[in-house]
Amino acid sequence: MCSVCGCGESRIEGEQHGEHHVHSHHHSDHHHHGHHTDQVSGDEQKAGSEYGAGQTVVIHHYHHQGDVHHHHHHYHGAAQENSTAVEKQADHSHELAPEHSAQGDLHFGKGEAGTHVPGINQRQLIQIEMDVLGKNDQLAEHNREHFAAAQQLVLNLVSSPGSGKTTLLTETLKQLQQRRACAVIEGDQQTTNDADRIRATGVPAIQVNTGKGCHLDAKMVHDACHQLTLDNEGVLFIENVGNLVCPSSFDLGENYKVAILSVTEGEDKPLKYPNMFAASQLMIINKIDLLPYVSFDIDNCIANARRVNPDIQVIQLSASTGEGMKAWLNWLETA
């Protein structure tokens, strides 16, 4: 089990122990989700209680997409790509410049706490993190080729917990499945509750329990697809684990990421979690039926999202009352 984020074995619903699809994180190589480990030794060791001699330091993922740098799990550093910064050691006296959005006015994190990893210099850190995501990207491309061959529309639904993803999905399926074949991959740490709700609509669904893992990755999706019957020209919805951080950077082979934000969460979420909204092509503002009861400025929320991602599309709806659902269904038909 990963000593930093606790990612452990995940299980695809319907599989038995010992089957080749059971997915676990291996720290000895770059396979699967693949947290890479690097032994700290010699003059790179840090004395004291924080790291003992020879202790393994687990470093997480780095990914660059457009003008926004993606930081994953518990390392929130601003790893710079220019050669000068890469050559510098990550010590307590080193402070890298803050990152900026495409608009150039947003600071996504800066300072010593955001850049320091004991015993690892910037060149090593970038290489480790790029290697880690490399395997996932290869598997995601394999998924994408498979989906394209079957002419499937694949959507990765991402949000914080409680945004209304599953309610939106069940209401969507009730209306869409009469026109197109649909299937669902459900991601949660535990239980099959959401997959059970989906199956109650008559749509096939497979639950992926990630255990202590905080996101789905490309291999989990690949293995889950082997448990589903996916019709040609259908729609596959992947409901990711509720988390606005890690899922932003893991390509699953989808056509689009769809970020769902409820009005109960606050209009500053796109600024607090910019990587997610930068990686998404569509933002759904859900639960608009609650607007009379909460302090939420929709125009400000949209403006914040477009500071991070000027091209993001926006749909406002209420999955509970049906208001705005037509716009969402139309988007699905034309995507």
In this predicted model, what pLDDT tens digit does every residue of 129-153 receive, in sequence order?
A: 777 688 999 999 999 999 999 999 9
Specify the 3-state DSSP secondary structure of 120. coil
pLDDT in tens, 37-55: 333 333 333 333 332 333 2
Give the CA distances from residue 47 to residues 50, 53, 93, 122, 145, in Å, rounded to whole numbers and listed in that order: 8, 7, 17, 20, 48
* CA-to-CA separations, 98 to 68, 104, 108, 112, 245, in angstroms, rounded: 12, 11, 7, 11, 18
Judged by average pLDDT, the poorest of 80-94, 174-188, 199-213 is: 80-94
CATH fold group of domain 139-334: Rossmann fold (3.40.50)
Given a cut of 80, is residue 202 above it in pLDDT?
A: yes
Q: In the chain, which ranges are continuous DSSP H helix?
A: 83-87, 112-115, 122-149, 165-176, 193-199, 218-225, 269-272, 274-279, 298-308, 325-334
| Rounded-to-integer distance, Cα 195 and Cα 193, Å | 6
- Which pLDDT does position 18 carry in this prediction? 43
Confidence of residue 26 (pLDDT cuts 50, 70, 90): very low
Residue % of the chain over a pLDDT of 90? 57
Mean pLDDT is lowest, of 101-105, 177-181, 230-234, for 101-105
Count of CB atoms within 10 A of residue 179's CB? 11
Angle at 245 between CA 291 and CA 315, to 5 degrees: 35
How far is it, in rounded angstroms, from Cα 139 to Cα 291?
A: 41
Q: What is the pTM of this model?
A: 0.68
Q: What average pLDDT does the structure give for the chain?
A: 75
The contacts of residue 16 (CB under 8 Å, 6+ apart) are none
Q: What is the mean pLDDT of residues 270-293?
A: 98
- Distance from C-alpha of 107 to C-alpha of 98, rounded to nearest angstrom: 6
- Grouping H, G, I as helix, E, B as strand and the rest as coil, residue 257 is strand
128: pLDDT confidence band, cut at 50, 70 and 90?
confident
Cα 116 from Cα 103, distance rounded (Å)? 26
Largest CA distance in the chain: 65
Residue 190 or 132, more confident: 190
- The single-letter code of the amino acid at 251 is D
Contacts of 101 (CB under 8 A, 6+ apart): 67, 68, 108, 274, 278, 307, 308
The structure tokens 């239980």 sit at: 191
Other CB atoms closer than 10 Å to residue 280's CB: what's the count? 26
Residue boundaries of the structural domains of the chain: 139-334
Tell me if 256 sits within 8 A of 156, measured CB to CB.
yes
The identity of residue 136, as a single letter, is: N
Q: Give the residue-averaged pLDDT of 180-186.
A: 97
> With bands split at pLDDT 50, 70 and 90, how would you rate the model's confidence at 15?
low
| pLDDT value, residue 310 | 98
Question: For residue 172, how many other CB atoms are within 10 A of its CB?
Answer: 22
Q: At CB < 8 A and 24+ separation, what contacts does 108-111 make?
A: 108/68, 108/69, 108/78, 108/274, 108/275, 109/71, 109/76, 109/77, 109/78, 110/78
- Please tell me which residue, 104 or 118, carries the higher pLDDT value: 118
Q: Give the pLDDT of residue 200.
A: 97
Mean pLDDT of 208-229: 92
- Eight-class DSSP state of 55: P
pLDDT of residue 253: 97
The total of other beta-carbon atoms located within 10 Å of residue 124's CB is 17
| Angle subtended by helix axes 165-176 and 325-334, to nearest 10 | 70
pLDDT of residue 118: 65
Note the pLDDT tens digit of each residue in 47-98. 333 323 332 222 233 333 333 333 333 323 333 333 333 233 333 333 333 3
Give the per-residue pLDDT at 159: 97
The pLDDT of residue 143 is 97
